[in-house]
Structure 1
């Protein structure tokens, strides 16, 4: 069965209970797609199921549990007879200078932001191949281009996500499976709130924290969601749907968010400058 012959495609979205994942689910449903969302809390998609009883299925999964992923993906594939689009959205942030990070916290973060996406891809590829092709979307960030102090582990996970995803794109193209790396800017989610972890602070970094975040307090004070200047997550979802609707010459990477282009420009300029003036190669014009 080819992609073109399927009238209703099915999205599998990890971390679909809130934030960006929920926005992706809502937008896909409004476009007439089926949605299978993985959640860590039963009933997180209950309202979506009530509004779209024939198009929504939730599956319990913590992507840090590698052993549980194959079974969860098989259940997801059975919900509507297959999977066509996989969105690796589940993730979170972590704040901490490299010296402040502990092994357990670092491993848990990479299990969530990096390895979870890898194992989901591994389990989903056979299902996509059986459907004659499909899409894998990796929700990345402009933080995968550059790096910020106090976000070193988060940057590392996203850089690694992009590295394996670029290789994956070349590996699965033969199966008509296309990979998209979505580099997002700032959106109004709880990424900086309940989805953020904090390393145990060392006082030697208090001044840097204050310079970077405006406070040395860890965890930082809870922000007023109504005061957020970040964009509506639905805009990210709409941009992703528009990107996936392109059938020819679709790029591997897509910048999403009004601030994403500026951040990417600054990050790539910084990368170029990091080679210094004695580099023995020239940047193409």
Structure 2
């Protein structure tokens, strides 16, 4: 049995859970990791229900893969639309094995340089959008007896660079949400993995990165280092195709890996940041308890 998507394409529902052929829901399949994951999954025979903000941006995939690929328009900042699209996806395909929160973008600039509108937009997209996709999917994942949630983050969800305060705020926020949610949903056989990629040779830096209007006061500040982020003469280290493969392969691991570090640069930044934070905490081992209530009090 097939189900029409209302625009002339069909998607084949899975009658039984076949671990060799999964169904994936991926936000932002028009570019970056979302695009590369979708291509690899469809090529190997999996089903993908993808979302895009720009209609027509994946018409080539629709034409090539027809029955196994469905695309829907979605702006993840529109919470009612998120709930509608996620519900429609589960209704039409019957079971979705993996939810991938991939949609997002970067914003560089010091705290004073970014506008109020830019702050709201990046938090609504990178943080609230992923939260709402997850919340919309959870009732369905529980009802079907389990599944996997993959959150595409960045090493910048644990480490920081100057000039990217709002980007880091959105990523640190979603990592906190996912870590806590992973503990809440583990009894329902729902695994959660946070992906920590380093720099990758995608168009992210050039088409999905917004730059705040520079203030001359920050010309000599470390924040100014981000102003050259879109320089194409400095390519990133990571192979996006290989990274997409690693993300896909992580679904085979049980239990779900809590974090997936991709790229030597990601490992280097994460190791340094976490070591520094741990050292700062351990240095206060003897003084931390001085603020505890004692029996004598």
Q: What range describes the TM-score normalised by the shorter chain of this pair?
A: 0.7 to 0.9
Q: Taking structure 1 as the reference length, what is the TM-score of the superposition?
A: 0.88
Deviations 1:189-226 (A, max 9, x none): 222112111222211111236862475xxxx7x5438x
The secondary structure found in structure 1 opposite 2:207 is coil
1:265 aligns with 2:271: yes
1:80: how far off? 2.3
> Matched residues in 2 for 1:3 and 1:139: separation?
28
> Matched residues in 2 for 1:140 and 1:197: separation?
17
The secondary structure found in structure 2 opposite 1:154 is helix
Unaligned runs of 5+ in 2: 1-13, 289-297
Match of 1:92 in 2: 105
Please tell me whether the aligned partners of residues 2 and 133 of structure 1 are also in contact (alpha carbons under 8 angstroms).
no
Please tell me whether the aligned partners of residues 27 and 52 of structure 2 are also in contact (alpha carbons under 8 angstroms).
yes
> Matched residues in 2 for 1:47 and 1:3: separation?
29
Please tell me whether the aligned partners of residues 144 and 155 of structure 1 are also in contact (alpha carbons under 8 angstroms).
yes
> Matched residues in 1 for 2:226 and 2:28: separation?
27
1:19 aligns with 2:32: yes
Deviations 1:123-145 (A, max 9, x none): 11112122211000010111111
Q: Which moved more, 1:151-160 or 1:204-213?
A: 204-213
Match of 1:236 in 2: 243
Deviations 1:115-169 (A, max 9, x none): 0000000111112122211000010111111111111111111111110101110
The secondary structure found in structure 1 opposite 2:196 is strand
Larger Rg: 2
**Aligned with 1:178 (options 183, 186, 191):** 191
1:100: how far off? 1.9
Unaligned runs of 5+ in 1: none
Aligned pairs for 1:1-285 (under 5 A) are 5=18, 8-208=21-221, 212-213=225-226, 215=228, 223-224=231-232, 228-247=235-254, 249-275=255-281, 277=283, 280=286
The secondary structure found in structure 1 opposite 2:237 is coil
Deviations 1:10-35 (A, max 9, x none): 10000111111101111222232100
Q: How many residues align?
A: 275
The secondary structure found in structure 2 opposite 1:127 is helix
Please tell me whether the aligned partners of residues 59 and 76 of structure 1 are also in contact (alpha carbons under 8 angstroms).
no
